[in-house]
Structure 1
Amino acid sequence: MLVSLAAVWGGSFFFAEVALTEVPPLTITFYRVVLAVPILASIVHLQGVTLPRSVRVWGAYLIMGALNNAIPFSLIFWGQTRIDSGLASILNGTTAVFAALLAGLLLADEPLSKKKVVGAALGLAGVAYIMGPEALNGLNPGNLAQLAVLGAALSYALAGVWGRRALAGQPPLVNALGMLIGSSLLMAPVVIMVDGLPSPDLSWRVWSALIGVASLSTAFAYVLYFAILGRAGAANLLLVTLLIPPFAIGLGAAFLGERMGPQAWIGFAIIALGISVTDGRLFSRRLARTTIPKP
């Protein structure tokens, strides 16, 4: 299930790359959330779960929809107009590092530990290696695109903290549906003002990509996400961050002719090390295996 989740989330970068040939980034975000709503609503209905009526909860869904959908989707899709999908997925992998760091700073039950600080430092070092020293000489479009994806990762991390604080008592899939409805309401006026009314006159290839990113990478992904969360816990879900880039890079190489240079791969390795340090279990298990038991 974890590999399947990584595949559908990694596929979102591929679907977006295809859709960007005919659709602007903000409109792709709009299609992604709007088309996912009826799919997830059907699943929630089949489970017999009712939607909350509280104004406070729906206000929280609007904020969650902005932080977890509208803002990061738009930033990533805009970033992909200037950088390859594989590189975008690698930079998006810093979400786990940002999430651990922000949770340590903002949540009382997740204190900031040494491993979180070291993991965050390694994650930022990986990003710095990918962007290179030339990023300090000026902000060209490629650098801005990378910063946009990093902004999306930070937004995802803030969404995690907000969700813990404002929506902890609600059913998980209902929270997912609520934030999709919230992000749809937020994106509709923005898209009309910036891009104009979305045109249905798109090629079958682009429509397939839009349906894929909405149904597989959004609605189905949320179902998988919460199923894994219930069975394996949040710590194991962190591993998906390491699995997404290989899928995104593989799809980009197979179908879009993208190629990641050694700088991106080395940067990914450093970011992956940072995630592993933040998680901590890999090194604790290795230490346990190498410790000589007392007689």
Structure 2
Amino acid sequence: MVAKRALALALITAVLFGGTFVAAKAGLEYFPPLLFVALRFDVATVGLVAFAVATHSRAALRPRTWGDLAGILATGIFAIGLANALLFVGQQYATSAVGAIVFGLNPILTPVLAAGLLADERLSRRGVVGLALGLVGVALVVDPDPATLFAGGVGKLLLFGGAASGALGSVLIRRADSTLSSTARTAWGLPFGAALTHLLSLSAGESVAAVTWSQEALLALGYVGLFAGAVAYITYFELIDVAGAVRANLVFYVTPAVATLGGWALLGETVSVLTFAGFLTIFAGFAVLGSESIDVRRLLERVAPTAADVRPAGAARFDHGSDAVGFDGSDD
């Protein structure tokens, strides 16, 4: 039941987060980037706080320990606030697909951070192989050729910073060992994320007067605020509690596929051969990392039974640990 629940949470989170890159790219035509993030958190805060108040008792919503406070700050500042600020600013310089893939470095960074901060989530040898494949894939996507360094290179670095912030936030949430539910913790954390991004927006000289209000702008804001905001945050942070930071962040390997399809269908974006190759390499890294939970030996035994399991009827059986040898276990 836990596995099915985790899978359902992962699929919902991946689809909703994947759509974020498409909606962000579309919405940046009408909003300054940091103000777009701040307004997104305003909308998400209203929706999530209303949901939390309706579904939780007052006692369940009240922070009681230092771990609760640490989890709230990790959620609001790193996992939500700074990660999305860097994502939306960097998304100005990259397509939806490239943005999702570079931000998909999150699952590669998470095991590295978890190895130093979480005793129960260490990287195995197989994990190191998956990590290496993921890094190669991201390098292909970023395309470190000097000719392209200044053509969107800054945006890719910002996206990388967002991925690092999100990975750090998810590990710190796990480390905090909060007594609050994921919904309550996120409802408290979102206002911190909103405050941070509003301050960053003001410091960058952005203003509401620069917003071009239109039906498309409202649709983009509604999606990133409610669906990819309130709803996706509920499923994502619950997934961290259920599956752990390392496995939860594997959803960011799926979001590029969603973003690529969405960018192609809705924004007319194209994907280069190099980007596609990078995506496949990153997915290979995901497959290696995800396979750590699979007992390969037992799986092979099911697929290809041993000789002892397929012996012909009437063949002698050797009972190790005793001196009796016979067809039925007797010494006749």
TM-score by length of 2: 0.80
Question: Aligned partner of 1:179: which letter?
Answer: G
CA contact (8 A) 1:70 1:183 kept: yes
> How far apart, in 2, do the equivalents of 1:18 and 1:243 lie?
20
**Once the two structures are superposed, what CA deviation does each residue of 1:71-99 show, in whole Å capped at 9, x if it has no partner?**
11111111211110111111122211211
Deviates more, 1:147-156 or 1:262-271: 147-156
Structure with more relative contact order (C-alpha pairs < 8 Å, separation 6 or more): 1
Query: % of aligned pairs identical?
Result: 27
> How far apart, in 1, do the equivalents of 2:305 and 2:85 lie?
52
Question: Which residue number in structure 2 is paired with residue 208 of structure 1?
Answer: 219
Question: Aligned partner of 2:62: which letter?
Answer: P
Question: Which residue number in structure 1 is paired with residue 269 of structure 2?
Answer: 258
Question: Which residue number in structure 2 is paired with residue 241 of structure 1?
Answer: 252
* Structure-2 change in CA distance of 1:233 and 1:206 (3 Å): same
Whichever of the two has the greater Rg, that structure is: 2
Deviation at 1:283, TM superposition (A): 6.5
- After superposition, the CA RMSD in angstroms is 2.6
Whether 2:82 is the aligned partner of 1:71: answer yes
Question: Which residue number in structure 2 is paired with residue 195 of structure 1?
Answer: 205
Question: Aligned partner of 2:78: which letter?
Answer: L
1:14 to 18, 22, 31: 22
Question: Aligned partner of 2:198: which letter?
Answer: A
> How far apart, in 2, do the equivalents of 1:19 and 1:172 lie?
28
Question: Aligned partner of 2:276: which letter?
Answer: W
**Once the two structures are superposed, what CA deviation does each residue of 1:206-229 show, in whole Å capped at 9, x if it has no partner?**
121011101000101123335666
Question: Aligned partner of 1:256: which letter?
Answer: L
Deviation at 1:245, TM superposition (A): 1.2
Question: Which residue number in structure 2 is paired with residue 36 of structure 1?
Answer: 44
Question: Which residue number in structure 1 is paired with residue 196 of structure 2?
Answer: 186
Question: Aligned partner of 1:182: which letter?
Answer: F
* Structure-2 change in CA distance of 1:127 and 1:293 (3 Å): same
Question: Which residue number in structure 1 is paired with residue 113 of structure 2?
Answer: 102
> How far apart, in 2, do the equivalents of 1:58 and 1:142 lie?
37
Question: Which residue number in structure 2 is paired with residue 172 of structure 1?
Answer: 182
* Structure-2 change in CA distance of 1:268 and 1:172 (3 Å): same
**Once the two structures are superposed, what CA deviation does each residue of 1:190-209 show, in whole Å capped at 9, x if it has no partner?**
22222333246511211210
1:293 to 306, 309, 328: 306
Deviation at 1:251, TM superposition (A): 1.0
Deviation at 1:160, TM superposition (A): 1.3
Question: Which residue number in structure 2 is paired with residue 90 of structure 1?
Answer: 101
**Once the two structures are superposed, what CA deviation does each residue of 1:145-186 show, in whole Å capped at 9, x if it has no partner?**
112112111111101111012243221111111211111122
TM-score by length of 1: 0.89
CA contact (8 A) 1:79 1:148 kept: yes
> How far apart, in 1, do the equivalents of 2:219 and 2:145 lie?
38
Give unmatched runs, 5+ long, in structure 2.
1-7, 309-332
* Structure-2 change in CA distance of 1:228 and 1:160 (3 Å): closer
CA contact (8 A) 2:42 2:191 kept: yes
Deviation at 1:132, TM superposition (A): 2.7
> How far apart, in 2, do the equivalents of 1:163 and 1:224 lie?
15
**Once the two structures are superposed, what CA deviation does each residue of 1:120-167 show, in whole Å capped at 9, x if it has no partner?**
1111111112223514x6841412211211211111110111101224
2:279 to 256, 261, 268: 268
Question: Which residue number in structure 1 is paired with residue 320 of structure 2?
Answer: none
CA contact (8 A) 1:238 1:279 kept: no
Within-5 A mapping of 1:132-147: 132-135=143-146, 139-147=149-157
CA contact (8 A) 1:101 1:117 kept: no
CA contact (8 A) 2:79 2:166 kept: yes
Deviates more, 1:48-57 or 1:271-280: 48-57
Question: Which residue number in structure 2 is paired with residue 3 of structure 1?
Answer: 11
Question: Which residue number in structure 2 is paired with residue 278 of structure 1?
Answer: 289
Question: Which residue number in structure 2 is paired with residue 45 of structure 1?
Answer: 53
CA contact (8 A) 2:38 2:195 kept: no
Deviation at 1:9, TM superposition (A): 0.9
